[in-house]
Structure 1
């Protein structure tokens, strides 16, 4: 297979499927393993592996002034956000978790509108935010009583703070212009997140409850080798050969994959409201992305 484009499209297809299945693996893992050590061991191992391989290949370590910003991004995106996703899946179905996470572009847009005092908003962004809000209402509104009275509330709160942390980390990284290679940045972010999550897990006494079962070990190894190592390598290759805007569409496909395999393998409930909400939220994300592109074009035109 010598066609780079074909390889890139295969890499893109891989991340669409693989990253959609990680929610299932997390759900299986937290059935037996405590969340913070489960997440921490995954990212520590993945970060160490990437760091060793990259150094052997001659990749430079970040400059001192760039190390702290990279670590901050790692703490927010992987340490807090991804860690809280693992925590949330103790109570939430994997498909619902994936669907709630698709609201990240909407939260990022709200944060940027606050910091820019609404300078970059347009009709598409407003309609997208409204659609996303309606989608969340469809998910939560119909079963609000069950959520408030049951354990779901803990999962929803965890996802809310996780999505907020990811959005803040994304906005922070956007405005920090770094020269470090993306792979090296990713390795340090993984390692930073893993060390913090592992430390938190030990502080919470999770080690006493950490025992691998065949199912949880399989979930851990899948997340480590397929979700982290293979998935991120495929993503970096895809964006090096294909337009980033095209590769970014994996975010529209991941939740659909997660909903389907959660229903198929874990018998998770797939209601009409949930399916409708998925389409409404994804449509809202599409509108927001389109609005952001138009806002960027307008800024470029005004500056020339």
Structure 2
């Protein structure tokens, strides 16, 4: 179940980059469309959970939801949307792939645990894989805005990493509340903040948002990207750890590359294939402990005294 949901999340997140690009190209204001996406998705989900009596509206008055929404939704997407006006999506993807490494460092520092060598190696291998995957198509135009764009993405990943690690604590604190409701509440806060930012940062013209491509993009991002993808992400944090679900940042460029080849006939280089294989190796290394636990679950193991015990 965990790996099926992980695969579905990666597939959804791998296609949202294209959906965002379609919406922006259609003329939708970036911050406004992002805010509308998350506010509507969160409102629909929370309303459904309240009707089903699986959540209470009082959840919106908890500071944890505000803090999580500030980090996971507002901080992450405000910086990313702004940055992609000045840097290529390939550069943004490579910089975003630093998040699992940041999360691993934060989690280790907060838990005061020893850093797992294979997890660290896996994060580094995965990052290298993303670079190799996207290297053939990278274009770089140095300027002040390009530099600020790169810094903006990295700042966004700091928000994302902190929010992901903090979400693990929130899930434990609200054990009686569904992760779906928790995700909905934080998206509502993040979406509202993005809409406020839009009022001060960009001209808002509703006309372009009514174009068919913009409407389809928004609907896909609401129902598939936010309501499905982000809910699975939150569920995976609750069921595993903060690092594992965040490795989608390694997989999404690979999915985007495959979609480009299938839908648009874009060529795939040998270097990109090597990058894809490297990404898979990195993900396996990061999740080696989890994979071992699943492989040997239920199998009897022989103890040092010769007795057998179930794992």
Structure 2 counterpart of 1:42: 37
The 1-side partners of 2:105 and 2:189 are apart by 27
Which residue of 45, 49, 56 maps to 2:51? 56
Q: Normalising by structure 1, report the TM-score.
A: 0.73
So what's the TM-score if we normalise by structure 2?
0.72
- Structure 1, unmatched stretches of 5+, are 1-6, 295-304
After superposition, residues 218-257 of structure 1 pair within 5 angstroms as: 218-232=216-230, 253-257=251-255
Q: In 2, distance between residues paired with 1:272 and 1:114?
A: 38
- Which residue in 2 is equivalent to 1:178? 174
* Of 109, 114, 120, the match for 2:114: 120
CA contact (8 A) 2:79 2:156 kept: yes
Matched residue count = 287
Deviation readout 1:262-290 (Å, 9 max, x if unpaired): 45556777555455444434533432333
- Higher relative contact order (CA closer than 8 Å, sequence separation 6+): 1
Question: How well do the aligned residues superpose, as a CA RMSD in angstroms?
Answer: 4.3
1:15 aligned residue (9, 13, 22): 9
Counterpart position of 1:161: 155
Greater Cα shift, 160-169 or 244-253: 244-253
State which drifts further: 227-236 or 136-145: 136-145
SS at match of 1:159: helix
Q: Out of 169-178 and 258-267, give the one that drifted further.
A: 258-267
Partner of 1:206, secondary structure, is: coil
Q: Give the C-alpha shift of residue 253 in structure 1.
A: 4.1
Contact 1:9 1:238 in 2 (8 A): no
> Helix, strand or coil for the counterpart of 2:55?
coil
Q: Residues 244 and 287 of structure 2 are in contact (CA less than 8 Å); yes or no, is this contact kept in structure 1?
A: no
- Unaligned runs of at least 5 residues, structure 2: 293-311
Change (3 A) 1:67 1:266: farther
Question: 1:102 Cα deviation (Å)?
Answer: 3.8
**CA distance 1:286–1:128, change in 2 (3 Å):** same
Gap change, CA 1:160 and 1:245, over 3 Å in 2? closer
Change (3 A) 1:155 1:264: farther
Aligned match of 1:103:
98
